[in-house]
């Protein structure tokens, strides 16, 4: 990997500032690659998950990837333009401006849950900013990795190098002297990545996770709220970093919520977990982890309600129906750990202040969801809570907005990408101060006892 990184850095040094036409050419190649390989990619993802709907992969991975690339192509020329800045009158005549400069070679560590979108999203931003990249793909998605590696080797052989391997390879990858390193994954591993990068003073962007709350207010339309909430929780069987992790629900709405959730799941998935549209948990290790969460909660007298009345789980296929967990003690794993699966704890509240207080007692999440039409309440939640991003009256959809930055805060990450935010993340904003033949600075050169100098200081400090 060190040799491959050195090779990319050498190639970058030969073209340290690619023009807009070249960057657009790379992005167009990436677009063409995804379109040409989309069927193979979706089939490979399904193999890695033991089952994932091909349509779900097209919806959640292929479409946002192509949309993001189109947005980069449309705006990259504007992003590259020199940005003028004001000059204080005491420095005139002069000009100030900012040059967005490529960093060099970017390292990208890709997780298993969205192996295409979470590889292509950072990659398109790195290419738009004029960089080369090395991708470390997850060892849990070997079929998808094979297709991505073939695809990029064919369409972008001089811009991207793909690395595969286990946790040790990932650790070694993190320790390479990249010009920037982006990691998507758990907070636990994120700390190790940041520590490894620190040895080279490599700047990092960490896209982590956390327990993203969903607040249903007393004024919310419970039918539409449950529908949108359940979509966010069942997409990819809840294996999404911004999936609603738990619900804060008005106490008097519990029975209605349960009834609507069961009805909605049946509408979404008429054949339950056995249907083609419902995705599997990635592997047996993750399936067993989720089962252990449920077992612990049940042993501590929590009420567990499956939304699939026919068959709540299929262990042989690693399919787990959405489970509502009610009255679980706060020391249970469902409250202490990011769930990353189709388990939805519910906390009942009497006042919105209680809900806000509970959220603020937890580590800051990657996402927050509020279901309410009350503008005063919306403003209150936005101002009194912290989260990486927010959806009001929806879930997940903020991630697909190309003109919004995507990133966490505190324990849920640092830095952001998507759209212009990604271009800025992978560029250095080089500050430039330019003077011509005449410089007003000559009036303040030593010796400092000159009368003119004294007059200038008196004027500037007046």
Q: Supply the residues annotated as catalytic.
A: 207, 241
Both tokens of residue 359? Answer: 């959220």
What is the C-alpha to C-alpha distance for residues 307 and 153, in angstroms, rounded to an integer? 44
For helices 20-48 and 142-155, angle between their N-to-C axes, nearest 10 degrees: 160
Please state whether beta strands 343-349 and 323-326 pair in parallel, antiparallel, or not at all (unpaired): parallel
Phi, psi angle pair for 390, to nearest 5°: -135, 140
Q: What 8-state DSSP symbol labels residue 445?
A: P
Q: Strand (E) positions, 223-318?
A: 246-250, 303-306, 313-314
Count the residues in the chain.
Answer: 462
How far apart, in Å, are the Cα atoms of 44 and each of 54, 55, 110, 146, 302? 10, 13, 16, 9, 38
Please state whether beta strands 367-371 and 389-392 pair in parallel, antiparallel, or not at all (unpaired): parallel
What is the C-alpha to C-alpha distance for residues 278 and 261, in angstroms, rounded to an integer? 16
User: Could you tell me which of 214, 213, 217 has the C-alpha nearest to residue 375?
Assistant: 217
Both tokens of residue 409? Answer: 């805060």
How far apart, in Å, are the Cα atoms of 375 and each of 102, 227, 256, 284, 370? 42, 21, 24, 44, 11
> Degrees (nearest 5) of the Cα angle 183, 119, 291?
70
User: Could you tell me which of 149, 101, 143, 100 has the C-alpha nearest to residue 123?
Assistant: 149
What is the C-alpha to C-alpha distance for residues 196 and 218, in angstroms, rounded to an integer? 47
Q: What 8-state DSSP symbol labels residue 365?
A: P
62 within 8 A of 53, measured Cβ to Cβ = no
108 within 8 A of 128, measured Cβ to Cβ = no
What is the C-alpha to C-alpha distance for residues 343 and 184, in angstroms, rounded to an integer? 22
User: Could you tell me which of 131, 122, 151 has the C-alpha nearest to residue 41?
Assistant: 151
119 within 8 A of 66, measured Cβ to Cβ = no
Please state whether beta strands 95-102 and 83-85 pair in parallel, antiparallel, or not at all (unpaired): antiparallel
């Amino acid at each position: 990997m060190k040799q491959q990184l050195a090779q990319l850095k050498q190639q970058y040094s030969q073209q340290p500032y690619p023009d807009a036409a070249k960057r657009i050419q790379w992005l167009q190649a990436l677009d063409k690659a995804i379109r040409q390989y989309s069927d193979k990619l979706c089939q490979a993802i399904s193999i890695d998950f033991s089952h994932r709907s091909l349509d779900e992969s097209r919806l959640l991975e292929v479409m946002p990837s192509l949309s993001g690339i189109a947005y980069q192509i449309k705006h990259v020329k504007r992003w590259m333009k020199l940005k003028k800045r004001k000059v204080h009158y005491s420095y005139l005549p002069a000009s100030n401006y900012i040059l967005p400069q490529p960093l060099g070679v970017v390292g990208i560590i890709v997780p298993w849950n969205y192996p295409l979108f979470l590889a292509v999203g950072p990659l398109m931003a790195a290419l738009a900013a004029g960089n080369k990249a090395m991708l470390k793909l997850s060892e849990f998605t070997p079929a998808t990795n094979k297709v991505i590696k073939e695809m990029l080797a064919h369409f972008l052989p001089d811009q991207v190098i793909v690395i595969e391997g286990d946790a040790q390879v990932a650790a070694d990858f993190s320790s390479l002297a990249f010009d920037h390193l982006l990691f998507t994954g758990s907070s636990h591993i994120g700390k190790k990545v940041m520590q490894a990068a620190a040895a080279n003073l490599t700047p990092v962007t960490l896209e982590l996770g956390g327990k993203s709350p969903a607040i249903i207010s007393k004024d919310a339309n419970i039918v539409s709220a449950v529908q949108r909430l359940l979509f966010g929780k069942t997409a990819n069987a809840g294996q999404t970093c911004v999936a609603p992790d738990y619900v804060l629900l008005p106490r008097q709405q519990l029975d209605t919520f349960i009834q609507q959730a069961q009805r909605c799941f049946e509408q979404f998935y008429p054949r339950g977990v056995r249907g083609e549209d419902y995705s599997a948990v990635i592997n047996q290790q993750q399936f067993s982890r989720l089962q252990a969460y449920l077992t612990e909660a049940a042993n501590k007298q929590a009420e567990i309600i499956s939304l699939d009345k026919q068959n709540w789980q299929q262990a042989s296929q690693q399919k787990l129906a959405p489970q509502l967990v009610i009255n679980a003690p706060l020391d249970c794993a469902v409250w202490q750990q990011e769930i990353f699966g189709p388990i939805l704890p519910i906390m009942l509240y009497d006042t919105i202040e209680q809900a806000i207080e509970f959220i603020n007692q937890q580590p800051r999440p990657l996402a927050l969801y509020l279901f309410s039409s009350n503008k005063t309440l919306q403003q209150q939640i936005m101002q009194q809570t912290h989260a990486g991003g927010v959806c009001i009256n929806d879930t997940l959809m903020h991630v697909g907005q190309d003109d919004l930055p995507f990133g966490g805060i505190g324990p849920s990450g640092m830095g952001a990408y998507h759209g212009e935010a990604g271009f800025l993340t992978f560029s250095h904003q080089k500050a430039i101060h330019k003077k011509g033949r005449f410089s007003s600075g000559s009036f303040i050169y030593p010796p400092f006892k000159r009368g003119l100098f004294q007059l200038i200081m008196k004027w500037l400090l007046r």
